[in-house]
Amino acid sequence: MKSKEKSCENTLKVSFESLSRNESLARSLASAFMTQLDPTVSELADMKCAVSEAVTNCTVHAYKNTVGTVYMTMKAYSDRSVRIEIRDKGCGIDNIEEAMQPLFTTDPDGERSGMGFTVMENFTDGVRVISRRGKGTKVTLTKKLSSLRSDT
């Protein structure tokens, strides 16, 4: 590889209502978008799981007791990395560091395990969270896919 510059080669933006049945739809969309990069089965499974966590958090926490819009932007880069941004205009997170601790949950009654962010961190190469109380939250998941086996 000559240059370290990476360029964005494709973008897909979708928005949908924060209904729980859209969690599987969001995973399927992420999976369909990633297919063009020819990921391994486990890379695909990892990203689907991370997306499921982030989208579920919009349904369960951001728009608790209401329905709002979830915005998902997917980008594929020339260096075989994928970036998926999941954004809501919900309640926001007061203390991001605390929220990202394993087992931390503000909803134990709903049988949340508090492992959502831990899953995202374990199954991707980067999780970035930006949030403002009352404004919303943006979670950016990045994954670098392994290089393609050359058939020549």
Partner 1 sequence: MEFKSADAYFSQSRGVLKCTIRGEIDHHSAKSIREEIDKRLRDESPSELVIDMGGVTFMDSSGLGVVLGRYQKAREYGIGFSVPRTAPAVKRMFDMAGLERIIKYGEENSNTEKTERRG
57 catalytically annotated: yes
> Per the residue annotation, which of 23, 43, 57, 83 is the catalytic one?
57
Q: Does 90 bind Mg ion (CB under 5 A)?
A: no
85 catalytically annotated: no
Q: Which two tokens stand for residue 149?
A: 């086996």
Q: How far is the CB of 49 from ligand ADP (least distance, A)?
A: 12
Is the Cβ–Cβ distance between 58 and 139 less than 8 Å? no
Q: Which of residues 9, 17, 107, 125 is near ligand ADP by CB under 6 A?
A: 107
Binding flags for partner 1, 67-106, as an x/- string (CB under 8 A): ----------------------------------------
DSSP-H helix ranges across 58-151: 96-99, 116-123
Q: Does 18 bind ligand ADP (CB under 6 A)?
A: no
Which residue, 78 or 101, is less far from ligand ADP as judged by CB? 101
Q: How far apart are CA 79 and CA 8, in angstroms?
A: 9
Virtual torsion, Cα 99, 105, 106, 111, nearest 10 deg: 160
Q: Does 141 bind ligand ADP (CB under 6 A)?
A: no
Q: Which does 43 bind (CB under 5 to 8 A by kind): partner 1, Mg ion, ligand ADP, none?
A: none
| Start-to-end Cα distance in the chain | 18
Give residue 120's region: left, alpha or beta (phi > 0; psi -120 to 50): alpha
Q: How far apart are CA 83 and CA 95, in angstroms?
A: 24
Q: Which of residues 39, 90, 116, 136 is near Mg ion by CB under 5 A?
A: 116
Q: Does 105 bind ligand ADP (CB under 6 A)?
A: yes
Which residues are the active-site residues? 53, 57, 112
